[in-house]
Structure 1
C-alpha cells in the first residue's frame, strides 16, 4: 500500500492514491509537500464557476489538474470583461504570494471544468513561514504569472486578432492537453475582447489553411507547428520565461493528461 506523497516507478507523484497532474504541487520537495498535503482537498470545478470576485477576501487557493483551466478577468462598468491571465495545470489560483488579508482585484472564473486541489490560503501562509524553498517556489510562480499579464498587455495593444487567437489556442492546449478544445466562438470573443464575427472570421482563415478544424463548441488543433508560426511571439516569450524561473519543473515527472473527450 502506498503512503501519502509517494511516487510511481516513473517518478509521478501520488496523493491518496491519485496521480497529481498539477505541476506546482508535483514539483514540491518532500519536506514542502508534507506541509501542504494534509490540507489539500480534491474538488470538482464546473464551467462558469466563480472562485472569487473583485474585492472578495481570497480565502482558498486552487491547484488545477490537467484539463482544468480558469481565467482571471476584469469586469468593466459596461458589463464587458477583459481577460488578464489564464491558469491551468502549471499554476495556482489565489493566495500564493500575499499574506494576511487578500482582497481580489480580478474575477476568477472556471473556463474548462475538471478537478483541482483546494487548500485554505491561511495554510499556504503558514507553510511559507516554515519553508524558505516553498516561499521561493511560489514567488517564482508569481513572477511567471506577472510575466503573462504584462505580455498580454503588449499583445492586446500591438498584435492582430488572428495572432492573438492563435496565442490563446496555444495557451489553452498547453494547460489542458490534447488537440480537441471545448471552446465556443462566443467564449473566445469575450476572452479576446472582440465581436464574435471577428473571431469566426479568424477561425475560418485558420481552418482554410489546415491549422485547425472547428465546429460548434469544439476546436481541433490539427497543425500545432503552423499554429505556433502564425501566432505572435508572445506565447513563446512567456513560455521561455516560465521555464527559466521555474526550474523545479524539470526535475520531477508530471503526468500528462489524456486526450479530451467532452468537457460539457
Structure 2
C-alpha cells in the first residue's frame, strides 16, 4: 500500500517571483506509489501545468515530448476519423499517466489526448521518464501494470460501444469520470459527451433525462451531479465493473497520512 505525504511542489507565479502552492503532485496515485529514492529523483524534474478544458496534450502521430500525471483533471484518449467524427477509447485521471507510447517503444500513437475535465497536473520530459523506466524495475513494473489496466479499459470500451445501449454507456462513462474526480459532480456539456461517446447529442439528452427522472442524477447547464451512485452502478453495464476491478487488482491502493 502506498502512502501520500503532504510534500507539495511550489510553482512560480506572476508578480515578483512569488511562489504559489498548487495541488500536491502526490495526489496522482502513480506518483504517490513511487519508492522514496525514485521520488526524490523525480521531484525536481516535475513541472506543474494547468490543464484547461480542450487542451490537446498530444496529437495523432506526433512525437510525445512529455508524460503527464493529472492530479485534478481528466484527459480523454480519442480517435478522430477523417470526417472529423470522434470516439473516446479511454479516460485518464489521477490514477494514471498520459503518454504510454513513450515507454512502450512507439514514441507516438494514432490517438489524440484532450482534456475533458479541467484541472491541474504535472509533467515530466519524455527522455527523463524513459531513463527512469529503464533504470528502475520498481518504476517499470508500476507503469506496466498501469498500462495493462489501461488496455483493459480500451478493450472494454470497444465491446461496450458495440453491444450496450447508450444509457448503459453513459452510465459507464459517468462512473469512470467520478472515479477520477474528488466529488459527485461532472462538468461536461451534452455536446462534448456525445463527441466522447461517438453518438448523437439527442441520444445523450434522452439517456440523461431517463437517469434524472429516476432520481439518479441531476443535470443543469453542463453540470451533472450524481445523486445515487449505487443506483447508477446498477443501471450501468458490467463494463464499468470489469474495468474498475482490473485497476484495483493491478494498481496499489494509496493511503493518505
Structures share a fold, TM > 0.5? yes
Whether contact under 8 Å (1:72, 1:85) holds in the other structure is yes
Q: Indicate the residue corresponding to 1:21 in structure 2.
A: 27
- Paired residues for 1:90-239 under 5 Å: 90-95=95-100, 98=103, 102-239=107-244
Which of 62, 78, 83 aligns to 2:68? It is 62
Name the SS for the 1:14 alignment partner.
coil
| Per-residue deviation, residues 55-94 of structure 1 (Å, max 9, x unmatched) | 100110000003x001110110111011111000000001
Q: Find the aligned partners of 2:227 and 2:236 in 1 and give their Cα distance.
A: 15
Q: Indicate the residue corresponding to 2:81 in structure 1.
A: 76
Q: Indicate the residue corresponding to 1:253 in structure 2.
A: 255
| Per-residue deviation, residues 10-42 of structure 1 (Å, max 9, x unmatched) | 853513365321111011111221232121011
The structure whose residues are more often strand, as a share, is 2
> Structure 1: which 5+ runs fail to align?
1-6, 256-264
Question: Where has structure 1 moved over 4 Å in runs of 4 or more?
Answer: none
| Per-residue deviation, residues 195-251 of structure 1 (Å, max 9, x unmatched) | 1111101111111100001111111100000000000011111111111111x3x2x
TM-score, normalized by length of structure 1? 0.87
Which of 16, 38, 46 aligns to 1:32? It is 38
| Per-residue deviation, residues 157-190 of structure 1 (Å, max 9, x unmatched) | 1110000000100011111121121111111111
Q: Find the aligned partners of 2:143 and 2:190 in 1 and give their Cα distance.
A: 34
TM-score, normalized by length of structure 2? 0.90
Q: Does 1:12 align with 2:5?
A: yes
Q: Indicate the residue corresponding to 1:259 in structure 2.
A: none
Name the SS for the 2:180 alignment partner.
helix
For the aligned residue pairs, the C-alpha RMSD in angstroms reads: 1.8
> Structure 2: which 5+ runs fail to align?
11-22
Structure 2 CA distance for partners of 1:32 and 1:77, relative to 1, 3 Å = same
What's the offset of the Cα at 1:100?
6.1
Q: Indicate the residue corresponding to 2:50 in structure 1.
A: 44
Structure 2 CA distance for partners of 1:13 and 1:96, relative to 1, 3 Å = farther
